Structure 1
Amino acid sequence: MTRTTGSAASPSRPPALHLEAPPMRAAAPAEPYQIIPAAPRPRTAQAFQFDAPVYRRPSASRRVMGLVRRNTRLAVDHRVPGDGCRHGWYALMGGGFVCTSDGFAVSSAPAPLAESLQVVPPTVDEPLPYRYAKLSTPAPLYWRVPSAAELADGTSTPVREHAQGAHFVALDRTITVGDQELGRTVRGFWVRMRDLEPKPMPTMHGELLRGAEALPLAFVHVDEAALLDPGSAEIQGTATKFARFSVDRFLTHDGRDQVLARDGFAAWADEVRVARARARPEEVGADDQWIHVDLDQQTLVAYEGDRPVLATLVSSGKEGFEPPLGLFRVHKKYTTVTMSGPDPDAGTYAVEQVPWTMYYWGSFALHGAYWHDTFGNVRSHGCTNLPPIDARWLFYWSTPSLPEGWHAKVGLRGPWVYFTRGDSAPTGPAPASEPSAPSAAP
C-alpha cells in the first residue's frame, strides 16, 4: 500500500505546458535596436484677443490683413525679424505675420483659457452661425454669472449695463441659476433668457439660376398677391409671400401695371419685385464675379461674367440712409461682425455678430439679416440686408476665400458690386478713398 500526502486533488507532478520549443538558432537583427524619439509637436500661434490681428508684414506699420477669433490656433512657419513687436514676430504657414505681444502666443501645446474667456466658434456650415435674440429694454447685461440674489436685485455689482434702444444678441450657451435660465453672449456677457425674444431663421431665400433665360424673375413681397387673368382684374388665385415665377412680359390694365408669368397668369406689378438681367459694366472683366443691386426693385443678381447665377430679394437703406450708386468692389469679408449706432426711432441700436458681411465702400456692406423677414422692402441704416442663406452663399461663392481658421480678411479685391436705380446707369464708380465714405449700418 502506497501512502500519499497532501490534497487528493493535487497532482503528483507539474502539468505539461505544451509550448513549442524555442528555435535552436536565431538570426541576429541586421541593425542594433534604436530608440526613436517622438516627433516634436509643431508650434502654433494661439489667439488670446477676441479678434486677434494678422499683419501683412512684420513691421511697426501694423497693416492688418485679417482677424482670428480667441483660442483659434494657426500653424507657425518660423520666427522672423521685424520691428514694433516686443516679444517677436512669427510667419504663419498660410501667409501673414503675428506678433506675440499683440493677441497671440506661440508654443507647441495649447494654453488653457479660463471658461469666461473661451469663445464658441461660429457654426459656418449653417445660414445662422449663432442663436440670435432681441433683448428687451432696459434688461440687465451681467459681466459674470450672477447669484440668485443678484438676479432678483437686477442692479447690483455684476450688472455691466442695461440694454437700450434696439439691442440684438448672439448666444453661445445657456445655464440655470436657481429657477432662472441665463444665456451667455458671444462676447461673454450674461442675460436672462426671459428678457429675450428669439429670432428664428428668416424664411426668404433666393433662386439659383441656370443662365440668362431664367430672368426676369418675379418675387412676391407682400403677404399675399392676387393671381389674375391676364389683361383683366379678375382674380384667379393667390400667391404667398416670397413665391416666385418667371416673367414673360409686362402689361397694363386700367392704368395699373401687371406682370405676366410664363405660366400664363398675371400679378399686379406693385405686389412683386422683379429681378432683371443687367449688362456687365465695362470695368468688369468677362470672367469676373459681380453683384448687381437694383434699389428700385430691391433685388440682387450675382453674375459670373455675363452669366447670372443667383437672384434674391434685399432690404437696402431706408430714406435718409440710402446706399451710394455706382460700381464698387468688396474689400473686407467678416464671418460675423457687431454693428451699432444711432437710430431715429429707437435712439440707438446694437446688432451682435451680423453674419456673412462683405464691405464694399467704407462701412457700407452686404450682409445677412437675422432680425427681420421683410426682404423686398427698404429697411436698413445703409447696408444691404440679405436673407442669411443667400448671404452665406455669396460669402463662399465670392473670391478670395478666407484662409482656414480666419474670422475675417481685409484689403482684398473681391467681387464687384454695382448699385443702380431705374434703367439708367450711374455716372461712374464711387470714390476709391475709403476714409471719406460715410458710415453705414445694418
Structure 2
Amino acid sequence: MQLLVAWTALRTLAALGRLEPVDEAREGIKVDAAPAAIVETHWPETGIRTRPWAPSKRIATMSKGTRLVVRGQIASRDSSGCKGKPWYAVYPFGYVCSEHVKPARDQPTVGHALADRMRGERRLPFDYTKVREDGALMYRGVDGVRTGVAARSLSEGMNLAVARTLEVDGGAYVETVDGALVSKSAVGWLGQGSAWRGVFLAGDAGVGPAFAWSSRDKTPVLAEPDLKAAQVGTLGLRERVDLLEESGEADPARWWKIGEGRWVQAKNLNEVVFTPIPEGALRDNRLASGDDQWIDIDLGEQVLVAYRGARPVYVTLVSSGKGSPTPKGNYPIWAKVASMTMANQDYEDNPYMVEHVPWVMLFQGHNALHGAYWHDQFGKRRSHGCVNLAPLDARWLFEWVAPALPAGWTGYLPADLERSVVVHVRDSSLPPDQAFFQERPIGPPDPEEEKRRLEEADERRAEAAAATADFVPAAAAGG
C-alpha cells in the first residue's frame, strides 16, 4: 500500500503529459519483474535515460541518496552502458543502470525538488553571501587552507552559497555548498531575498489591460490626466491598482484612471495586459489534451503571465536583461535545473559568479527564468539577459511548469522540444513591427557559435595585450 501511494504521488508530480511514452513492445524492450521494489542512488549524480541502453539521451539527473520506485528490469543489450548489468525501469519515467543504485528500505520522499530545504519561513534553499573583497581567495577544502594553495581568486560582488561556517587553525571560514572555503571576513550575508510575490488569478480574466503595479515609490496621483493638476495622493512601490480608463495615446502623454479623480502617468506603472494565445505558443492539439501551459513575458512592462490555454493563472513582475537584452521570440524550455551556478562565459570580459541560483528554467541558449536572491528590483530591467524572478515566484513557476521534478531530482532535459512549455517573449513598448519576432534560435547554446565567440574574444584580448606592450610613456621615451 505504501509503495502504491509513493508511485501514485510521483506520477501526479511528474505531470507525464509532457513526456513521450516509450512503446516498449514496439522497441523490443522486455521488462521483467525486479528484485528490488525501491532503490537508492549512490553516485553524486545519477542519470535517468530515455531508453535502457547507452548511448541514449539522458533526460534527468538525481543527487546521491535519491530513492526510486522500480517497476521492472531489462536485460542489458551492451557491455559498455551498464557493464552488462540489468537496467531498471523506474517511476515516474525513464531507465537507470542498476550499477548506479542500491536496494533501499524507505520509500521515496514525496515532494518537489529542493522542497526539503525549505523549512519554516525560508524563501531560499541555501544561505548566500556576497564577496566584498576583490581578490578574496577560495580554497579546495581544509587542506587547501593549510597548504596555502588557493583554487581561485574571487571578484568583489560574486555570490556564494554557504553550507556552514567553521574554524581552521584559528581562522574563521565559510564552507560553500560545493565544499570550498573562503575567509569569513571576505563575505557578507545576503539574507532570504525579496519577499515580493505575484498573484493567482481566478476564473476567466479575458483579454486586455487588467491592473498594474506602481513602478516606483511615492508615485504621484493627480486629480486629472494633466501634469499641472493637483496631486491627490501617492502610491507605494509595487502597489496594485485597477486600470479603469485610459487617456492619451503614447507615453509620456498616456495616463490611467485608477479611481474617481485619481490619475497616474502610464510610464509610472507596470501594466498587466492579458493577450490571446500567440501563434507558436501551443501545439494545435494541446488545448484538447490539457497539455496547455505557456508563459508570456512582456519586456516593456516587465510582467510575466503564466497561462493554461487562454486562461491566465498567475502574474508577477520580473527583471529582464539590461546591458544584454532578453531575446524576443518563442522559446521552448530546453532544461529545468533545481539549482545551478551561473558565471561569465569564457568569451566575456567582466567576471561574475552567482552560486546555486535556484529554480532555473533555461529557454534560449544561456538565458533562463530563475530565482534571484541578490536584488529586489523586480519590475525593472536588471539582468545579464536572463529573466529574474523573486524567490517565491521562481519556486512556484518551477513547480508549476511540467514536468515537475520530484524530491532529489536535480535536472530535466526534454526529449522533444516540440512538447516543452514555450516562453513567449515580446516588448509592448516597441512599435508593433518590432515588438515581437524570432530574434534567436531555440534550444541550448550552439557549440559552433560559442567557439566562434571565444575565438573573437581571444583575438580581441591578444590585440589589447599587444597594444599595451607597445605603449611607451612619453616621460620614459625622453631618456
TM-score (normalised: structure 2): 0.70
Structure ranking higher in helix proportion = 2
Question: Is structure 2 residue 400 aligned with structure 1 residue 405?
Answer: no
Aligned with residue 354 of structure 2, among 341, 351, 354: 351
Aligned with residue 189 of structure 2, among 198, 202, 207: 198
Q: Residue 384 of structure 2 aligns to which amino acid in structure 1?
A: H
Aligned with residue 78 of structure 1, among 62, 73, 81: 73
Q: Distance in 2 between matches of 1:428 and 1:175?
A: 50
Are 1:259 and 1:267, in contact at CA under 8 Å, matched by a contact in 2?
Answer: yes
Aligned with residue 228 of structure 1, among 222, 228, 245: 222
> Against the structure 1 CA distance between its residues 270 and 197, is the aligned structure 2 distance closer, same or farther, given a 3 Å change threshold?
farther
> Against the structure 1 CA distance between its residues 188 and 72, is the aligned structure 2 distance closer, same or farther, given a 3 Å change threshold?
farther
CA shift, 1:189, in A, is: 1.0
Q: Distance in 2 between matches of 1:254 and 1:140?
A: 49
Superposition pairs of residues 181-260 of structure 1, within 5 angstroms: 181-200=172-191, 201-210=193-202, 211-212=204-205, 215-233=209-227, 234-252=230-248, 256-260=253-257
Aligned with residue 427 of structure 2, among 416, 421, 425: 421
Aligned to 1:47: 42
CA shift, 1:403, in A, is: 3.5
Are 2:297 and 2:304, in contact at CA under 8 Å, matched by a contact in 1?
Answer: yes
Aligned with residue 313 of structure 1, among 307, 313, 317: 317
> Against the structure 1 CA distance between its residues 53 and 86, is the aligned structure 2 distance closer, same or farther, given a 3 Å change threshold?
closer
Aligned with residue 289 of structure 1, among 286, 293, 296: 293
SS of match in other structure, 1:216: strand
Q: Residue 298 of structure 1 aligns to which amino acid in structure 2?
A: Q
CA shift, 1:361, in A, is: 2.5
CA shift, 1:69, in A, is: 1.6
Q: Distance in 2 between matches of 1:166 and 1:373?
A: 16
Superposition pairs of residues 141-180 of structure 1, within 5 angstroms: 141-145=138-142, 156-157=147-148, 159-164=150-155, 166-177=157-168, 180=171
SS of match in other structure, 2:128: strand
Q: Distance in 2 between matches of 1:166 and 1:344?
A: 20
For structure 2, the 5+ residue unaligned runs are: 1-34, 107-113, 451-479
Are 1:315 and 1:378, in contact at CA under 8 Å, matched by a contact in 2?
Answer: yes
Q: Residue 200 of structure 2 aligns to which amino acid in structure 1?
A: L
SS of match in other structure, 2:327: coil
Deviates more, 1:294-303 or 1:323-332: 323-332
SS of match in other structure, 2:399: helix
Superposition pairs of residues 82-101 of structure 1, within 5 angstroms: 82-83=77-78, 84-85=80-81, 87=83, 88-94=85-91, 95-99=93-97
CA shift, 1:406, in A, is: 1.1
> Against the structure 1 CA distance between its residues 195 and 435, is the aligned structure 2 distance closer, same or farther, given a 3 Å change threshold?
closer
> Against the structure 1 CA distance between its residues 157 and 432, is the aligned structure 2 distance closer, same or farther, given a 3 Å change threshold?
same
Q: Distance in 2 between matches of 1:133 and 1:346?
A: 23
Structure of higher CA gyration radius: 1
CA shift, 1:343, in A, is: 9.9
CA shift, 1:47, in A, is: 3.4
CA shift, 1:188, in A, is: 1.1
Q: Distance in 2 between matches of 1:431 and 1:343?
A: 21
Superposition pairs of residues 422-441 of structure 1, within 5 angstroms: 422=428, 424=432, 426-427=436-437, 431-432=441-442, 434-436=444-446
- % identical aligned pairs: 30
Query: How far does the alpha carbon of each residue in 1:241-293 deviate from its partner, in whole angstroms, 9 at most, with x for none?
Result: 22221211222499633222146522222222111111111442445111111
Are 1:292 and 1:301, in contact at CA under 8 Å, matched by a contact in 2?
Answer: yes
Aligned with residue 123 of structure 2, among 122, 127, 131: 127
Question: Is structure 2 residue 270 aligned with structure 1 residue 273?
Answer: yes
Q: Residue 209 of structure 1 aligns to which amino acid in structure 2?
A: L
CA shift, 1:396, in A, is: 1.3
Deviates more, 1:331-340 or 1:67-76: 67-76
Query: How far does the alpha carbon of each residue in 1:294-313 deviate from its partner, in whole angstroms, 9 at most, with x for none?
Result: 11111111111111111111
Q: Distance in 2 between matches of 1:338 and 1:353?
A: 5
Q: Distance in 2 between matches of 1:271 and 1:203?
A: 22
SS of match in other structure, 1:391: helix
SS of match in other structure, 1:236: strand
CA shift, 1:78, in A, is: 3.4
Q: Distance in 2 between matches of 1:376 and 1:108?
A: 47
> Against the structure 1 CA distance between its residues 194 and 239, is the aligned structure 2 distance closer, same or farther, given a 3 Å change threshold?
farther
Q: Residue 160 of structure 2 aligns to which amino acid in structure 1?
A: V
> Against the structure 1 CA distance between its residues 89 and 167, is the aligned structure 2 distance closer, same or farther, given a 3 Å change threshold?
farther
> Against the structure 1 CA distance between its residues 45 and 78, is the aligned structure 2 distance closer, same or farther, given a 3 Å change threshold?
farther
> Against the structure 1 CA distance between its residues 54 and 301, is the aligned structure 2 distance closer, same or farther, given a 3 Å change threshold?
same
CA shift, 1:432, in A, is: 4.6
Are 1:248 and 1:261, in contact at CA under 8 Å, matched by a contact in 2?
Answer: yes
CA shift, 1:58, in A, is: 2.8
Q: Distance in 2 between matches of 1:244 and 1:389?
A: 18
Q: Distance in 2 between matches of 1:180 and 1:220?
A: 47
> Against the structure 1 CA distance between its residues 133 and 345, is the aligned structure 2 distance closer, same or farther, given a 3 Å change threshold?
farther
CA shift, 1:357, in A, is: 0.9
Are 2:41 and 2:102, in contact at CA under 8 Å, matched by a contact in 1?
Answer: yes
> Against the structure 1 CA distance between its residues 80 and 345, is the aligned structure 2 distance closer, same or farther, given a 3 Å change threshold?
closer
CA shift, 1:385, in A, is: 0.8
For structure 1, the 5+ residue unaligned runs are: 1-39, 111-119
Q: Residue 179 of structure 2 aligns to which amino acid in structure 1?
A: G
CA shift, 1:105, in A, is: 4.2
SS of match in other structure, 1:339: strand
Q: Residue 352 of structure 2 aligns to which amino acid in structure 1?
A: Y
Are 2:88 and 2:98, in contact at CA under 8 Å, matched by a contact in 1?
Answer: no
Structure ranking higher in strand proportion = 1
Aligned to 1:328: 331
Q: Residue 59 of structure 2 aligns to which amino acid in structure 1?
A: M
SS of match in other structure, 2:393: helix
Q: Distance in 2 between matches of 1:240 and 1:218?
A: 12
Are 1:221 and 1:273, in contact at CA under 8 Å, matched by a contact in 2?
Answer: yes
> Against the structure 1 CA distance between its residues 434 and 163, is the aligned structure 2 distance closer, same or farther, given a 3 Å change threshold?
closer
Aligned to 1:58: 52
CA shift, 1:158, in A, is: 5.0
The number of aligned residues is 382
